[in-house]
Chains A and B, each alone.
Chain A
Amino acid sequence: MGRNEEIRAVLEDLLKMEDVQACLLTGRQTGTITPGRGTKLKNLVLWKLIMDSSHKLFPVIEDFYVYGLKRLYFELGDYEIIMSFLDQFTALLVVIPSLVNRGLVEVEIENSKRTIKEIIGRQK
């Protein structure tokens, strides 16, 4: 299994969680990797916007990363977007409904992030 397939499998696992509506890995080196199943979001225009625009945040992220930036949260209508950084060039982005128990999802975001880091580390 290649690197992207391994990462896709991790994202698939994350997407199976009830509260995870969408997830992807975005980064300068990795490009955008999405789960094979795509998304549970009904609004595909929004999903496309998220996929196409998340990398645009990196110039700002890089500036803040040196000060210990770990995560960014966006409230977007009925959803919340969590961007969790593997390094200053790579982020795991997860969309959850607003008002769900974010703490529980964050534990699994952290696990996914670690596994993806390992996969990327192995391939270097």
Chain B
Amino acid sequence: MKDLKVCVATSRQWKGMEAAAELWSKIKKTVPDPKFILLFATIDYKDEFKDIVSHLTLEFKNTQLVGGTVAGFINQDGCYTRGVTALAVDYPNMDVVVGIGHNTKRSPEKAGSECAKQIKEGLKSSKWKNKFLFTFIAGTEIPKMPGMGGGVIKSGAMTKLVKGGMRVSQFLMQKSVGREEDVLDQITRELPDYGMIHGSTIDNVKMGKNYQFCGTEILTNTVVCLGIRTDLNFDSDFGNGAKSNTKFDITEISKNNQIVSRINGQPAPSEFARLLKKPEDLLFDGKYYLKRFPYFPCGMFQGDRLLLRAFVFVMSDSILSMSKMHKGDVFTVSITGKNMIESVKETLSSMGKKPEFGFASECAIRLMTLGSDIEKVRDNMKAFFKDRPFLVIYVAGEGVKKPNHEYFYMNESFAVTLFRR
């Protein structure tokens, strides 16, 4: 396509300066002066982030840069859970601007609003009609508190302590669930006519600390956003490969819609175990829970689309979802590894012809589950994109939105945006 220049580059160099130099040399060959760069790194590079962004922004002075930490990534070069990758784009018929909102865990609505205002203001004089957002928000960080290891707390006293502690930790240290949906609610309310793809930043799925990048800044607990106005067309969709099984009702839930206390009028942990037809002790075995929880998500419908939620933490009387639950019909779901891989193929093929380039956010849980079989996801991407550039990042939560539609926020899913002329 004339004048559209896209490059997805990878570096596996350990030193920040060397990684940045490698990315720069690869990018400049195809995209000498990018309008924007999306930059992602695994947490192995946390001491090198500063060098990487400083060097890249020094070399690409007119370029907007946003991104963050991911559990891994896939592109034309390969599948990696250690490395740095960048998507660089230049196109004349496109205006770009970045927005940042701070303290996403303490004041998510304010952070979202801050960010949306910068995007709106920055692009108000653009003449291009199609509007799009890439959003990256700090994902869940689990505070280190006594009794919180393993993801299961059986003692009622400890549950009370941890619930109270989490509220304190959320406010004081901003170590808690990500609150991405509270941020996105605000952004999409203020920018309804924008399409969007979202990824929640994450480390190596230990949920210790994650970072966001914006220009030369290395940030925590922020939303960073790249707003675009262009004449390029885009299309977003998602898939998960899940099949809904037994229907159940969430009958008691916390104000933030994430701590489920009662299911079908019964204490949530025991009722959930009964619905899955598994012994409670086995299902919520503290030794294995953090390894096993991805295998029994639940699903709920938003319109006719099934959205998945994973219960990341079990307390004596309640279970904590990674993202918001809706009161009402919910389903136990099942997904096989094969269906996860197939869902990528199905999602892409339902979106029509080959695009100029693509960007996808996929849940890190799927990467954890598939392991080296993630290569089969790459095979599906390559079969669809052929020689065109694409980048898949592995994140803590993913979302998509079409302009003037409500957004979808998911776990354990594959979300993608394709860009076409």
Q: A residues near B, CB below 8 A?
A: 13, 16-19, 99, 101-111
Contact A103 B368 (CB under 8 A): yes
Q: How far is the CA of A69 from the CA of B71 in the complex (A)?
A: 28
Q: How far apart are A122's CB and chain B's nearest CB, in angstroms?
A: 19
Q: How far apart are A106's CB and chain B's nearest CB, in angstroms?
A: 4
Among B205, B291, B374, contact of A107 (Cβ-Cβ < 8 Å)? B374
Tell me which of B12, B81, B204, B375 has the highest count of chain A C-beta atoms within 10 A of its own C-beta.
B81
- Chain A residue at smallest Cβ distance from B394: A104
Q: Kindly state whether residue B84 has any CB partner on chain A within 8 Å.
A: no
Q: How far is the CA of A108 from the CA of B83 in the complex (A)?
A: 10
Contact B375 A104 (CB under 8 A): no
Beyond known contacts A18-B44, A106-B371, A110-B79: 13 more, CB 8 A cutoff: A13-B12, A17-B82, A18-B204, A19-B204, A101-B205, A103-B368, A103-B370, A104-B368, A105-B81, A107-B367, A107-B374, A108-B80, A111-B79
- Chain A residue at smallest Cβ distance from B43: A18
Among B14, B81, B287, B288, contact of A104 (Cβ-Cβ < 8 Å)? B81
Take A17-B44, A101-B204, A103-B367 as given contacts and tell me if A108 and B81 are in contact as well, using a CB distance cutoff of 8 Å: yes
Q: How far is the CA of A21 from the CA of B374 in the complex (A)?
A: 23
Take A16-B14, A99-B291, A101-B205 as given contacts and tell me if A106 and B372 are in contact as well, using a CB distance cutoff of 8 Å: yes
Across the interface, which residues of B come within 8 angstroms of A104, CB to CB?
71-72, 81, 204-205, 367-368, 371
Contact B288 A103 (CB under 8 A): no
Contact A110 B372 (CB under 8 A): yes
Contact A108 B290 (CB under 8 A): no
Q: Kindly state whether residue B118 has any CB partner on chain A within 8 Å.
A: no
Contact A99 B288 (CB under 8 A): yes
Take A107-B81, A111-B78 as given contacts and tell me if A101 and B372 are in contact as well, using a CB distance cutoff of 8 Å: no
Q: How far is the CA of A106 from the CA of B291 in the complex (A)?
A: 15
Q: B residues near A, CB below 8 A?
A: 12, 14, 44, 71-72, 78-82, 204-206, 287-288, 290-291, 367-372, 374-375
Q: How far is the CA of A104 from the CA of B12 in the complex (A)?
A: 16
Q: How far is the CA of A116 from the CA of B80 in the complex (A)?
A: 16
Tell me which of B12, B82, B287, B288 has the highest count of chain A C-beta atoms within 10 A of its own C-beta.
B82
Q: List 7 A-B contacts (CB under 8 A).
A: A17-B82, A18-B204, A99-B287, A99-B290, A104-B205, A110-B372, A111-B80
Contact A107 B44 (CB under 8 A): no
Take A16-B14, A99-B290 as given contacts and tell me if A109 and B372 are in contact as well, using a CB distance cutoff of 8 Å: yes
Across the interface, which residues of A come within 8 angstroms of B82, CB to CB?
17, 108
Among A18, A99, A102, A107, contact of B72 (Cβ-Cβ < 8 Å)? A107
Across the interface, which residues of B come within 8 angstroms of A16, CB to CB?
14, 44
Q: How far is the CA of A119 from the CA of B49 in the complex (A)?
A: 31
Q: How far is the CA of A105 from the CA of B44 in the complex (A)?
A: 12
Contact B79 A107 (CB under 8 A): yes
Contact A107 B371 (CB under 8 A): yes
Query: Closest 3 A-B residue pairs measured CB to CB?
Result: A106-B371, A103-B371, A110-B372
Tell me which of A18, A104, A109 has the highest count of chain B C-beta atoms within 10 A of its own C-beta.
A104
